């Protein structure tokens, strides 16, 4: 049994009673990484020396009764697109192989202020572009439930490390499903918060109007605690929202009587595997027993979300990634004779194929003569998709459906065909386009592979999502099952 | 008919400051053509009179007091630079 089979408040109780030290927790993390990360390959960079020093300092505070911070002593893993001062941050790209950030992302300042202990940096698809973590320049992370399968992506390392018991929890980022899809594939809990809930300062930008950082945990309660710690408006990010941060754990009672659930027919349609559909129908029965009611609804523009997303996210990416030019930081090609040659060769040698493909797609969609036909058209369709959600939320508290159309696929299965790979995110992408929050919680297994239930809420209503997710979790035991490694 | 030609792929690559070989241009042409063809399903929708969404939250210009603060120290900023000299980033000569 791993220490991380317990939830955060139980571990903190043990710390409080002096039955456990922070050093024990941090050592448990590194011991587990030494045991299983050779197989899982979730971590790119470890920060063991600093983590043990910090643990010692926190233990001293514990002995003196000075412990403070909501995440006190908890080992956390960080996706490698969140900048960490003096700790290498690569975005899983060759172009940032030796990049040592000179400041912390706001979320890092927050988890440090809450006294969590950063264990290391986690693998991902290069610049968060991908759905399997196979687009990493460095290594291929495996699914802890079946090492022949992908962990999902792009936050594949973040989800796999939590599922494998290497850390208690982690931070990921979600632009089109990059937290929820790997959480579903790895059997853990992953939330994409409302756009603006969390500061993006220090998150290396992929698509600025869609990106959001979020927590990946084993339990819904831990997820709510971690979100609590990292939420809030930030002067360094003008798109962070100046709204109240409620107590997200308040609604974790198991009582969902009278809650109204919408189930979009498009989310159970063709393309969604039968065992996935069945697991959602079973989950709805559980929620019904708990006193909620559900009805079928329509999000009529769902089928257009994928195309809309790829045009908009690639367009934004083509602008955001122009900063990698081999001048101020990152990889520089050798012996370039002119500045243009320096740019071109540094970028071509530094970026992988998927990143180049999306930069080119975005550049095309924004280029003269095509802007109205592609980019502006997609922005208009985004309005229609957003309105679909607004219409449904007039009558319902949450939307429920599957997180992914299938369980985790095999490594190498989809790498040659970008469009098939993109289709993995068909149920998560609309949520980013509308800017609403969504969570994935474990809801079953298919041939030993986890399945995820997606619960979507209104803008800034993560509390209702957690309420339903917690009630479902407490009524089922999927989250208690662990992979054997 | 192709939505994007090999020549256009090369043009776009140049705009994006990417070097692509003939071979790469051929592969990217096929892949981008498939993605753009797929994206044309958006034309099924009548979007006349629909406002474009660039940002999901109802947020206009976010203003703050213009208070000067200290910038990052030069040596920190240069720490990750591939090449620098006299406190400045160094690049190949721009003017002949």
Helix and strand numbers, DSSP H then E, in chain B: 3, 2
Identify the closest residue of chain A to B25 by CA–CA distance. A357
Query: Is it the case that residue B65 has pLDDT exceeding 80?
Result: yes
Question: Residue B63: its pLDDT value, please?
Answer: 87
Pairwise CA distance, residues A351 & A329, whole Å: 14
Question: Residue A414: its pLDDT value, please?
Answer: 83
The answer to whether A154 is a known catalytic residue is yes
User: What is the CB-side half-sphere exposure of residue B25 using CA atoms within 13 A?
Assistant: 16
The answer to whether A344 is a known catalytic residue is no
With beta carbons under 8 A apart, name residues in chain A contacting B94.
338-339
ipTM field: 0.96
Pairwise CA distance, residues A469 & A177, whole Å: 18
Q: To probe the interface with A, which of B4, B6, B17 has the most A CB atoms within 10 Å? A: B17
**Is there a contact between A83 and A201 (Cβ–Cβ < 8 Å)?**
no
Q: Which of A155, A170, A178, A464 is catalytic?
A: A178
Would you tell me which residues 356-395 of chain A have a C-beta closer than 8 angstroms to some C-beta of chain B? 356-357, 359-361, 363-364, 367, 374, 376-384, 386
Question: Residue A420: its pLDDT value, please?
Answer: 76
- Out of B57, B62, B82, whose CB is closest to A435? B57
Is the CB of B92 less than 8 angstroms away from the CB of A339?
yes
CB neighbour burial string for A299-338, b if at least 16 within 10 angstroms, e if fewer: bebbebbbbbbbbbbbbbbbebbeebbbbebbbbbeebee
Per-residue pLDDT in tens (0 to 9) along chain A, 485 residues? 789 999 999 999 999 999 999 999 999 999 999 999 999 999 999 999 999 999 999 999 999 999 999 999 999 999 999 999 999 999 999 999 999 999 999 999 999 999 999 999 999 999 999 999 999 999 999 999 999 999 999 999 999 999 999 999 999 999 999 999 999 999 999 999 999 999 999 999 999 999 999 999 999 999 999 999 999 999 999 999 999 999 999 999 999 999 999 999 999 988 899 999 999 999 999 999 999 999 999 999 999 999 999 999 999 999 999 999 999 999 999 999 999 999 999 999 999 999 999 999 999 999 989 999 999 999 999 999 999 999 999 999 999 999 999 999 999 998 777 777 788 899 999 999 999 999 999 999 999 999 999 999 999 999 999 999 999 999 999 999 999 99
Q: Which of A21, A79, A199, A464 is catalytic?
A: A79
With beta carbons under 8 A apart, name residues in chain A contacting B17.
322, 325, 340, 343-344, 347
Is the CB of A380 less than 8 angstroms away from the CB of B55?
no
A-B contacts at Cβ under 8 angstroms: 159
**Is there a contact between A176 and A428 (Cβ–Cβ < 8 Å)?**
yes
Pairwise CA distance, residues A438 & B1, whole Å: 40
Q: To probe the interface with A, which of B14, B18, B22, B60 has the most A CB atoms within 10 Å? A: B18
Question: Hey, CA dihedral for A288, A293, A296, A298, is it positive or negative?
Answer: negative
Query: Is it the case that residue B62 has pLDDT exceeding 90?
Result: no
Q: What is the largest CA-CA distance in chain B?
A: 58
Q: Given CB atoms, is B57 within the 8 Å cutoff of chain A?
A: yes
Question: Residue B74: its pLDDT value, please?
Answer: 95
Tokens in use for A264? 């979009």
With beta carbons under 8 A apart, name residues in chain B contacting A383.
50-53
Pairwise CA distance, residues A120 & A75, whole Å: 9
Question: Residue A14: its pLDDT value, please?
Answer: 97
3-state SS record for chain A: CCHHHCCHHHHHHHHHCCCCCHHHHHHHHHHHHHHHHHHHCCEEEECHHHHHHHHHHHHHHHHCCCCCCCCCCCEEEEECCECECCECCCCCCHHHCCCCCCCCCHHHHHHHHCCCEEEEEECCCHHHCCCCCCCCCCCCCCECCECCECCCCCCHHHHHHHHCCCCCEEEEEECCCCCHHHHHHHCCEEEECCCCCCCCCCECCCCCCCCEEEEEECCHHHHHHHHHHHCCCECCECCCCCCCCCCCCCCCCCCCCCCEEEEEHHHHCCCCCHHHHHHHHHHHHHHHHCCCEEEEECCCCHHHHHHHHHHHHHHHHHHHHHHCCCCCCCCCCCCCCCHHHHHHHHHHHHCCHHHHHHHHHHHHHHCCCCHHHHHHHHHHHHHHHHHHHHHHHCCCCEEEEECCCCCCCECCCCCCCHHHHHHHHCCCHHHHHHCCCEEEEEEEEECCEEEEEEEECCCCCHHHHHHHHHHHHHHCCHHHCCCCC
Beta strands A260-264 and A293-297 are parallel
**Is there a contact between A182 and A159 (Cβ–Cβ < 8 Å)?**
yes
Q: How many other CB atoms are found less than 10 A from the CB of residue B21?
A: 9
Is the CB of B92 less than 8 angstroms away from the CB of A336?
yes
Question: Residue A78: its pLDDT value, please?
Answer: 98
**Is there a contact between A215 and A474 (Cβ–Cβ < 8 Å)?**
no
**Is there a contact between A166 and A29 (Cβ–Cβ < 8 Å)?**
yes
Would you tell me which residues 297-336 of chain A have a C-beta closer than 8 angstroms to some C-beta of chain B? 301, 303-304, 306-308, 310-311, 318, 322, 325-332, 336
Q: Given CB atoms, is A281 within the 8 Å cutoff of chain B?
A: no
Per the model's pLDDT, the better-predicted residue between B55 and A25 turns out to be: A25
Would you tell me which residues 151-190 of chain A have a C-beta closer than 8 angstroms to some C-beta of chain B? none
Is the CB of A308 less than 8 angstroms away from the CB of B76?
no
Tokens in use for A239? 């798109």
Tokens in use for A95? 């172009």
With beta carbons under 8 A apart, name residues in chain B contacting A209.
54-56
The answer to whether A79 is a known catalytic residue is yes
Query: Is it the case that residue B60 has pLDDT exceeding 90?
Result: no
Bridge partners of residue A76, in order along the sequence:
A118, A169
Q: Given CB atoms, is B86 within the 8 Å cutoff of chain A?
A: no
Question: Residue B94: its pLDDT value, please?
Answer: 82
Is the CB of A359 less than 8 angstroms away from the CB of B53?
no
- Out of A329, A336, A364, whose CB is closest to B32? A364
Pairwise CA distance, residues A320 & A301, whole Å: 28
Tokens in use for B61? 């210009």
Distance (Å) of CA A318 to CA B8, B36, B88: 16, 16, 27
Is the CB of A327 less than 8 angstroms away from the CB of B17?
no
């Amino acid at each position: 049994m791993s220490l991380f089979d317990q939830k955060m408040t139980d571990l903190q109780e043990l710390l409080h009673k002096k039955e456990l030290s922070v050093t024990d927790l941090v050592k448990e993390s590194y011991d587990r990484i030494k045991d299983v990360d050779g197989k899982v390959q979730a971590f790119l960079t470890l920060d063991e020396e600093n983590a043990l020093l910090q643990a010692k300092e926190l233990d001293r505070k514990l002995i003196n009764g000075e412990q403070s911070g909501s995440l006190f002593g908890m080992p956390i893993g960080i996706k490698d697109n969140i900048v960490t001062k003096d700790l290498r941050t690569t975005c899983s790209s060759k172009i940032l192989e030796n990049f040592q950030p000179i400041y912390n992302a706001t979320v890092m300042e927050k988890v440090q202020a809450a006294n969590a202990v950063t264990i290391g940096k986690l693998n991902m698809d290069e610049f968060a572009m991908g759905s399997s973590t196979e687009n990493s320049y460095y290594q291929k992370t495996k699914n802890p439930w079946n090492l022949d399968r992908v962990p999902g992506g792009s936050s594949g390392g973040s989800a796999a490390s939590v599922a494998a018991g290497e850390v208690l929890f982690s931070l990921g980022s979600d632009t089109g499903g990059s937290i929820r899809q790997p959480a579903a594939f790895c059997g853990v809990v992953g939330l994409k918060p409302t756009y603006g809930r969390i500061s993006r300062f220090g998150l290396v930008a992929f698509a600025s109007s869609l990106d959001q950082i979020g927590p990946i945990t084993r339990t819904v309660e831990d997820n709510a605690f971690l979100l609590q710690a990292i939420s809030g408006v930030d002067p360094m990010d003008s798109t962070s929202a100046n709204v109240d941060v409620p107590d997200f754990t308040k609604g974790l009672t198991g009582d969902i009587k009278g809650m109204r659930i919408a189930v979009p027919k498009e989310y159970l349609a063709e393309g969604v595997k039968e065992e996935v559909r069945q697991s959602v129908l079973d989950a709805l029965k559980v929620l019904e027993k708990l006193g909620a009611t559900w009805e079928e609804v329509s999000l009529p523009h769902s089928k257009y979300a994928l195309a809309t997303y790829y045009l908009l996210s690639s367009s934004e990416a083509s602008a955001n990634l122009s900063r990698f030019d081999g001048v101020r930081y990152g990889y520089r090609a050798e012996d370039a004779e002119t500045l243009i040659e320096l740019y071109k060769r540094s970028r071509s040698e530094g970026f992988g194929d998927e990143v180049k493909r999306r930069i080119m797609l975005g550049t095309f969609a924004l280029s003269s003569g095509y802007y109205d036909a592609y980019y502006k058209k997609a922005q208009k369709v985004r309005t229609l998709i957003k309105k679909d959600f607004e219409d449904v939320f007039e009558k319902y508290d949450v939307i429920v459906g599957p997180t992914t159309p299938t369980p985790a696929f095999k490594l190498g299965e989809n790498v040659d065909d970008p469009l098939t790979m993109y289709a993995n995110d068909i149920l998560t992408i609309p949520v980013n386009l509308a800017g609403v929050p969504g969570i994935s919680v474990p809801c079953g297994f298919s041939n030993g592979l986890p399945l995820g239930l997606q619960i979507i809420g209104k803008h800034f209503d993560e509390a209702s999502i957690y309420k339903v997710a917690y009630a479902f979790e407490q009524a089922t035991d999927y989250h208690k099952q662990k992979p054997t490694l | 008919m192709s939505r994007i030609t090999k020549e256009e792929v090369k043009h776009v690559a140049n705009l994006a400051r990417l070097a692509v070989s003939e071979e790469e241009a051929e592969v990217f042409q096929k892949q981008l053509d498939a993605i753009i063809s797929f994206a044309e399903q958006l034309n099924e929708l009548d979007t006349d009179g629909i406002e474009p969404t660039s940002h999901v939250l109802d947020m206009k210009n976010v203003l703050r007091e213009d208070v000067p603060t200290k910038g990052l120290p030069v040596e920190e900023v240069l720490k990750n630079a591939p090449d620098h000299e006299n406190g400045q980033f160094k690049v190949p000569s721009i003017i002949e």
